[in-house]
């Protein structure tokens, strides 16, 4: 068999495994198996595979920091404390609780990233649903959808933003000019469409006037750690630096302070974290490297350059829609890597890159495997005993994602270069 076709076949099989999870095996098994097969069969040189894994170092560090902060929040009662406050502010209305969770999700995604919304916000929201004695899934859906809908408010709102723009991330003022209106439309459209899909589930009333227990000292330390991390990410982003190392340092530092205060071993804390997401990301990076190695990126660059020359108005819109749908097939992190390499080789104009970014960020709201944030969200809800199938999410995503995508792309293309 032709080595290129065999490489593509392995890549497609691995991607299908990540999406469909045969035998309910973790997504990481399929991505890593595909990566190992590519190297073992000589289809991808080992040095290129190691280089691809190395490209994800900033993402690994970022996730490590966020997962540590999330687990600390769960252990130290921070999420339960936040949940009680949220339930009391909802005053017995599941619809008000839904809106409150949505607004908090916008803030968390904007200043801590969409992955943080999935990792940090989801346990708190599940706790709120439990305290309120209301159905958890409508509120949990908020964590998944807002994580992508608000992910281009700022450059740090999604690590994929920095991947796509590589070493030429726009200055903050330019970013806001280009993405303020698309972001607002994305957030508002996603809210109304998601709220409409969950209208029956949010009927009735929920608990109210719960007793608010004081937050423990270690809970306050964890809350402070999350707050300092948000400030650090904004600062680091302003200097166009990578986010992973500061996040990891603050996550590890917060964990050490808590563990020293409690005089506990880190073993229990570490054992509760879903580490499988790291090999999943590594496997996805290797699969993307295979596409570059087999000439797919070069072909896409040629096609994009030709399309941009022929029609500079239609090309950005079509590119945004195509990558939005494509991100659901291969995950938006590798899609962002492919797009970054493609626009670099094609010397694409600003409007095309911006449209691709909106597609990479917002498109994954269609399916559960569209973004790393949604996969992290799935891991979090499974831990709490909830499960959402591919088709179950798709039925909601098809209604929610498309209007937000079209409005955001249209708004960006109406804004001048």
Confidence of residue 167 (pLDDT cuts 50, 70, 90): low
Cβ-defined contacts of 40-48 (< 8 Å, 24+):
41/6, 41/10, 42/3, 43/3, 43/6, 43/7, 43/10, 43/290, 44/7, 44/286, 44/289, 44/290, 44/293, 45/293, 48/289, 48/293
Where are the domains positioned within the chain? 3-414
Cβ-defined contacts of 187-192 (< 8 Å, 24+):
187/106, 187/146, 187/149, 187/150, 187/153, 189/403, 189/404, 189/407, 189/408, 190/145, 190/146, 190/149, 190/365, 190/400, 190/401, 190/404, 191/99, 191/102
pLDDT at 171 exceeding the cut of 90: no
Determine what percent of the chain is predicted with pLDDT higher than 90. Answer: 32
Helix (H/G/I), strand (E/B), else coil: 265? coil
Q: Residue 407's closest CA among 258, 253, 185?
A: 185
pTM of the model: 0.84
Average pLDDT over residues 294-307: 74
Q: What pLDDT, in 10s, does the model give residues 85-141?
A: 888 888 889 999 999 999 988 988 888 888 878 888 888 888 888 888 888 999 999
Q: What pLDDT, in 10s, does the model give residues 327-380?
A: 887 778 778 778 877 877 777 778 888 898 999 999 999 998 888 888 889 888
Confidence of residue 142 (pLDDT cuts 50, 70, 90): very high
Determine what percent of the chain is predicted with pLDDT higher than 70. Answer: 95
* Separation CA 22–CA 308 (nearest Å): 40
pLDDT at 191 exceeding the cut of 90: yes
Report CA torsion sign: 158, 164, 170, 173.
negative
């Amino acid at each position: 068999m032709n080595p290129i076709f065999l490489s593509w076949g392995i890549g497609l099989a691995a991607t299908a495994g990540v999406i469909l999870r045969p035998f309910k095996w973790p997504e990481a098994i399929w991505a890593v198996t595909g990566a190992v097969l590519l190297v073992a069969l000589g289809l991808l040189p080992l040095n290129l595979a190691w280089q691809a894994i190395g490209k994800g170092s900033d993402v690994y560090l970022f996730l490590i920091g966020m997962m540590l902060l999330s687990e600390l929040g769960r252990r130290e009662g921070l999420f339960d404390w936040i949940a009680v406050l949220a339930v009391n502010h909802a005053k017995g209305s599941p619809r008000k609780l839904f809106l409150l969770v949505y607004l908090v999700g916008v803030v968390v995604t904007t200043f801590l990233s969409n992955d943080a919304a999935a990792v940090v916000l989801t346990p708190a929201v599940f706790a709120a649903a439990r305290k309120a004695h209301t159905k958890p899934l409508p509120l949990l859906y908020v964590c998944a959808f807002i994580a992508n809908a608000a992910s281009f408010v700022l450059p740090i709102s999604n690590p994929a933003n920095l991947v796509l723009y590589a070493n030429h991330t726009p200055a903050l003022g330019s970013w806001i000019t280009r993405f303020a209106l698309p972001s607002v439309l994305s957030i508002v459209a996603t809210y109304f469409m998601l709220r409409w899909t969950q209208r029956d589930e949010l009927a009735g009333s929920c608990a109210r006037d719960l007793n608010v227990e004081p937050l423990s000292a270690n809970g306050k330390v964890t809350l402070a750690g999350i707050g300092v991390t948000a400030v650090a990410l904004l600062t680091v982003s302003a200097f166009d630096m990578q986010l992973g190392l500061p996040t990891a340092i603050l996550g590890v530092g917060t964990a050490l302070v808590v563990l020293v205060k409690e005089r506990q071993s880190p073993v229990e804390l570490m054992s509760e974290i879903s580490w499988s997401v790291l090999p999943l990301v590594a496997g996805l990076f290797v699969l993307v490297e295979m596409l570059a190695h087999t000439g797919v990126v070069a072909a896409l660059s040629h096609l994009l350059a030709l399309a941009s020359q022929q029609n500079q108005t239609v090309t950005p819109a079509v590119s945004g829609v195509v990558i939005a749908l494509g991100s659901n097939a291969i995950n938006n992190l590798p899609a962002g890597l492919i797009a970054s390499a493609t626009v670099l080789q094609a010397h694409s104009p600003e409007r095309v890159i911006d449209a691709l970014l909106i597609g990479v960020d917002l498109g994954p709201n269609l399916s559960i495997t569209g973004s790393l944030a949604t996969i992290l969200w799935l891991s979090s809800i499974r831990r709490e005993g909830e499960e959402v199938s591919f088709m179950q999410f798709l039925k909601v995503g098809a209604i929610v994602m498309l209007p937000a995508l079209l409005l955001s792309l249209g708004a960006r293309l109406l804004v001048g270069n």
